[in-house]
Amino acid sequence: MNALRPSTLSDSLYGRVSRVIPPFEWPSFEADIAAILRLKAERNAIILAHNYQSPEIFHCVADVVGDSLALAREAANGDARVIVMAGVHFMAETAKLLNPSKTVLIPDPQAGCSLAESITPDDIGLLRQAYPGVPVVTYVNTSAAVKAASDICCTSANAKKVVESLGAPRVIMIPDEYLARNVAAQTEVEVIAWRGRCEVHEQFTAADIRELREAHPGAIVLAHPECAPEVVAAADFAGSTADMIKYVGARRPARVALVTECSMSDNVAVHYPDLEFVRPCGLCPHMKRITLGKIRHALETLEGEVTIDPIVAGPARRAVERMLAL
Ligand code: SF4
Beta strands in the chain (DSSP E): 45-50, 64-66, 82-86, 103-105, 136-139, 152-154, 170-174, 190-193, 220-223, 237-238, 255-259, 276-278
- The yes-or-no verdict on residue 68 having pLDDT over 80 is no
241 lines ligand 1 (CB under 6 A): no
- The yes-or-no verdict on residue 1 having pLDDT over 70 is no
Secondary structure (3-state) at 91? helix
Specify the pLDDT at position 3.
43
200 lines ligand 1 (CB under 6 A): yes
- The yes-or-no verdict on residue 6 having pLDDT over 70 is no
305 lines ligand 1 (CB under 6 A): no
Beta strands 45-50; 103-105: pairing state: unpaired
pTM of the model: 0.94
Percent of the chain whose pLDDT exceeds 70: 98
224 lines ligand 1 (CB under 6 A): no
Atom of ligand 1 lying closest to residue 176 CA: 3
Whether residue 307 contacts residue 316, with contact meaning beta carbons closer than 8 Å, is answered with no
Specify the pLDDT at position 99.
92
Q: Which residue would you say has higher pLDDT here, 241 or 77? A: 241
pLDDT tens for residues 17-63? 998 999 999 999 999 999 999 999 999 999 999 999 999 999 999 99
- The yes-or-no verdict on residue 272 having pLDDT over 70 is yes
CA 322/CA 316 separation, integer angstroms: 10
286 lines ligand 1 (CB under 6 A): yes
CB atoms within 10 A of CB 167: 7
Nearest protein Cα to ligand 1, atom 3 = 198
Atom of ligand 1 lying closest to residue 226 CA: 3
244 lines ligand 1 (CB under 6 A): no
CA 97/CA 103 separation, integer angstroms: 11
pLDDT tens for residues 166-224? 999 999 999 999 999 999 999 999 999 999 999 999 999 999 999 999 999 999 999 99
pLDDT tens for residues 114-153? 999 999 999 999 999 999 999 999 999 999 999 999 999 9
- For residue 261, how far is its CA from the centre of ligand 1 (angstroms)? 8
Nearest protein Cα to ligand 1, atom 2 = 198
Any bridge partners for residue 103, and if so which? 82
Secondary structure (3-state) at 5? coil
Specify the pLDDT at position 18.
92
Q: Which residue would you say has higher pLDDT here, 79 or 60? A: 60
User: What's the pLDDT band for 280 if we cut at 50, 70, 90?
Assistant: confident
CA 86/CA 92 separation, integer angstroms: 8
97 lines ligand 1 (CB under 6 A): no
- For residue 115, how far is its CA from the centre of ligand 1 (angstroms)? 7
Beta strands in 91-246 (DSSP E): 103-105, 136-139, 152-154, 170-174, 190-193, 220-223, 237-238
Atom of ligand 1 lying closest to residue 116 CA: 8
- For residue 15, how far is its CA from the centre of ligand 1 (angstroms)? 29
User: What's the pLDDT band for 7 if we cut at 50, 70, 90?
Assistant: low
Residue of 160, 39, 138 lying closest to 94 (CA atoms): 138
Percent of the chain whose pLDDT exceeds 90: 88
Q: What number is the average pLDDT over the span 268-295?
A: 94
